[in-house]
């Protein structure tokens, strides 16, 4: 039997509504601080939704040459920034072994900022005013492309676009490329910048967004009986995944092991989950099986936890399907209660949080959970963080169209 190549996490980078570096992101997450507020990007007077989880204080020129930055949509700028921070955190320069280093990045909607600006130009100034860079700024693969261009990676390069499961898909795919011997190191994650007129109006028209405009920081309330939809967010998360022996040979700091991932499909509806949770639970079981853990060994689950009615119920049932009676003993929490739903970047930001949960033996809370839905009767770590040793942790991500992905991370045992 061939030697099984193990994959570990050696670097982390984030751009988020609660901080643009890992330390700030983690500190505010465990403190239960919300990044939701009034939308500042455009006038929402005529919109049903006035709130979002916006990134604050981001300066693209801190990461990218000013002239280059103008040629990138905001989602690509976020991607490059998070990837460069992850590379610095891993103390790793890809260039000396570029052909064995790759990138898999995710985006659910791509360059919506550029699409809005250029469509407005087209309608009001005519087709001759269209930016010649419209297409390469807008298409979803350009986050990954610019990560590769800026870091100099020349190994596998790909993009996942499976809605809100996309970043977890990217991390799982990148880990598989390392296990299969196609790369030694992969930059994996997702980026999203959907807070634009078309993004907000589109999700609002689908009745997916919370309209609790009077209480922005309390609007995202996963598993609560009064939840009324998710809060749209933005940002990027990147993990440096590395083959274990490669990491050890260069003396890298190892955060945790990326132990397994599972994928399944609901085959049920364009936007609604199958409320039975069977397919979602099966993805978690597949991830645990690949990782070599029994369901009873799971200590923590970073929930998809969007704050939508059907979604939170389906996820609760999925966890019960996968873990049986142990579902009532495992700690579960939703980062989206604080950072909103960052769509194609959500799984990456939550993967970073899951790794840090293992490292710090500290579980972030689900804030705004004051009145639990009777159908959501598990331990969602309400309101305050909880100290607990976490050796095995899972992260769930589910996307429109029935895309289900689960990742399993574990404490690195040396």
Is there a shared CATH topology between the 8-249 domain and the 260-410 domain?
A: yes
Q: Which fold has domain 260-410?
A: Peroxisomal Thiolase; Chain A, domain 1 (3.40.47)
Give domain limits for the chain. 8-249, 260-410
Quick check: helix, strand or coil at residue 330? coil
Residue 226's pLDDT is what?
Answer: 97
Quick check: helix, strand or coil at residue 354? helix
Q: What is the pTM of this model?
A: 0.96
Residue 3's pLDDT is what?
Answer: 62
Contact 293, 253 (CB under 8 A): no
Contact 374, 387 (CB under 8 A): no
| Ranges under pLDDT 50 in the chain | 1-2
Q: Where are the alpha helices (DSSP H) in 299-374?
A: 309-323, 336-339, 346-360
CATH of domain 8-249: 3.40.47.10
The structure tokens listed for 133 are: 């860079």
Q: Which residues are catalytic?
A: 164, 304, 341
Residue 270's pLDDT is what?
Answer: 86
For 116, residues 6+ apart whose C-beta sits below 8 A from its C-beta are: 196, 197, 198
How many other CB atoms are there within 10 angstroms of residue 140's CB atom? 23
């Amino acid at each position: 039997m061939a030697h099984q190549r193990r994959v570990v996490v050696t670097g982390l980078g984030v751009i988020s509504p609660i901080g643009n570096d890992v330390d700030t992101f983690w500190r505010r997450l465990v403190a239960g601080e919300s990044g939701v507020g009034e939308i500042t990007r455009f006038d929402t007077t005529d919109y049903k939704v006035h709130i979002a989880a916006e990134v604050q204080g981001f300066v693209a020129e801190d990461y990218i040459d000013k002239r280059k930055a103008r040629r990138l949509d905001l989602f690509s700028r976020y991607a490059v920034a998070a990837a460069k921070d992850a590379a610095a955190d891993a103390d790793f320069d890809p260039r000396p072994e570029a052909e064995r280093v790759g990138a898999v990045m995710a985006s659910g909607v791509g360059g919506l900022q550029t699409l809005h600006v250029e469509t407005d130009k087209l309608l009001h100034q005519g087709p001759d005013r269209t930016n010649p860079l419209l297409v390469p700024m807008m298409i979803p693969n350009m986050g990954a492309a610019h990560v590769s261009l800026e870091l100099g990676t020349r190994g596998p390069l790909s993009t996942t676009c499976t809605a809100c499961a996309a970043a977890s898909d990217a991390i799982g795919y990148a880990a598989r490329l390392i296990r299969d011997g196609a790369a030694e190191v992969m930059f994996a994650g997702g980026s999203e910048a959907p807070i634009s007129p078309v993004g907000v109006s589109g999700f609002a028209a689908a009745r997916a967004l919370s309209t609790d405009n009077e209480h922005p920081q309390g609007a995202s309330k996963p598993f609560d009986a009064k939840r009324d939809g998710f809060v749209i967010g933005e940002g990027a998360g990147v993990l440096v995944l590395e083959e274990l022996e490669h990491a050890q040979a260069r003396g890298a700091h190892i955060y945790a092991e990326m132990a397994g991932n599972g994928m399944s499909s609901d085959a049920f509806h364009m936007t609604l989950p199958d409320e039975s949770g069977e397919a979602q639970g099966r993805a978690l079981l597949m991830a645990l099986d690949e990782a070599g853990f029994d369901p009873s060994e799971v200590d923590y689950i970073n929930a998809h936890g969007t704050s939508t009615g059907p979604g939170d119920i389906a996820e609760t049932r999925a966890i019960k399907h996968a873990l049986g009676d142990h579902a009532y003993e495992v700690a579960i929490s939703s980062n989206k209660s604080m950072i909103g739903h960052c769509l194609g970047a959500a799984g990456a930001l939550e993967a970073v949080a899951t790794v840090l949960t293992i490292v710090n033996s500290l579980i972030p809370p689900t804030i705004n959970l004051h009145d639990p839905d009777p159908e959501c009767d598990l331990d969602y770590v309400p309101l305050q963080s909880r100290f607990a040793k976490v050796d095995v942790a899972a992260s769930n991500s589910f996307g429109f169209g029935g895309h289900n992905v689960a990742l399993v991370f574990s404490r690195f045992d040396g």
